[in-house]
């Protein structure tokens, strides 16, 4: 079977969860990358069965998540993490959550993956962090980090594998309300996708695509009033 790593699941309402379910239904093994501050509640909810109803697959079985990795895609390597984030209570309890370290942990645990899913958006949780951290977050939106995620996970991807991310038509057309860096982050994501598809396709026979998604009442969508 195939092994998939899905970055960007912290509840059962978003695209990441739905994609994970489709992959699980098709027989893939599911690994998940969850935003560090949301990790505790996500794992607790999973363990307590809060998501059991939405874990049901078409054959009646429940989707198994093989392992949940803490991840903060804003930070490429440990050197990129500012002191106030390191000291933040919600981060100090977890380790190895930069993109580079998460990819290395997956490699140590499982060797390789076949499918990489980038389903990151800017969570409303960001608003509860300090102003300084907030500024850092807005200057490097997770959407804009797709090439970092890709460059660290590509080396552990098997030839013939595939990567997808989620984009939005606001990259090309004016969608009122979809501003503040979000439309340009999607434009960057689409541009990165084209370049990465060319490079990774030639070097490693890996497909790179982004899907322009329709509206879904996820946490991120509600946070921006969509």
Nearer to ligand ZID, 53 or 59 (CB): 53
We find the least distance from the C-beta atom of residue 160 to ligand ZID, in angstroms, to be: 25
Determine the 3-state secondary structure of 36 from DSSP: helix
HSE-CB for 14 with a 13 A CA cutoff:
23
User: CA angle, corner 149, sides to 56 and 77, nearest 5?
Assistant: 120
15 classed as catalytic: no
Taking the complex as a whole, the smallest distance from the CB of residue 39 to ligand ZID amounts, in Å, to: 9
Binding site for ligand ZID (CB under 6 A): 8-10, 13-16, 35, 38, 71-74, 119-123, 142-143, 166, 168, 213-216, 218-221, 226
**CB-wise, 114 or 183, nearer to ligand ZID?**
183
Nearest Cα neighbor of 67 from 27, 106, 16 is 106
Closer of 38 and 62 to ligand ZID (Cβ) = 38
Separation CA 31–CA 9 (nearest Å): 10
Q: The tokens of 191 are what?
A: 């541009």
Query: Is 62 or 213 the residue whose CB approaches ligand ZID more closely?
Result: 213
What's the gap between Cα 115 and its chain centre? Answer: 12
In whole angstroms, give the CA distance from residue 119 to residue 107: 20
| Min separation Cβ 69 and ligand ZID, Å | 10
Q: Among this protein's residues, is 168 annotated catalytic?
A: yes
Least spacing, CB of residue 202 vs ligand ZID, in Å = 26
Q: Per the residue annotation, which of 15, 69, 91, 168 is the catalytic one? A: 168
Please give the positions annotated as active site: 168, 178
């Amino acid at each position: 079977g195939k092994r998939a790593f899905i970055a960007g699941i912290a509840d059962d309402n978003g695209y990441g969860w739905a994609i994970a379910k489709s992959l699980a239904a098709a027989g893939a093994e599911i690994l998940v990358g969850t935003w560090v501050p949301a990790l505790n509640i996500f794992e607790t909810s999973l363990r307590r069965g809060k998501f059991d109803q939405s874990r049901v697959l078409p054959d009646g079985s429940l989707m198994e998540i093989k392992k949940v990795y803490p991840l903060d895609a804003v930070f490429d390597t440990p050197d990129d993490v500012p002191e106030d984030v390191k000291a933040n209570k919600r981060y100090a309890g977890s380790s190895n959550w930069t993109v580079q370290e998460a990819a290395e942990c997956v490699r140590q645990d499982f060797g390789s993956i076949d499918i990489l899913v980038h389903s990151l958006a800017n969570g409303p949780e960001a608003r509860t962090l300090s102003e300084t951290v907030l500024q850092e977050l807005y200057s490097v939106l997770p959407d804009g980090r797709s090439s970092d995620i890709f460059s660290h996970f590509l080396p552990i991807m098997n030839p013939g594998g595939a990567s997808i991310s989620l984009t939005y038509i606001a990259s090309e057309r004016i969608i009122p309300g979809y501003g503040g860096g979000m439309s340009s982050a999607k434009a960057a994501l689409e541009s990165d996708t084209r370049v990465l598809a060319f490079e990774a396709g030639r070097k490693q026979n890996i497909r790179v695509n982004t899907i322009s998604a329709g509206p879904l009442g996820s946490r991120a969508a509600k946070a921006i009033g969509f």
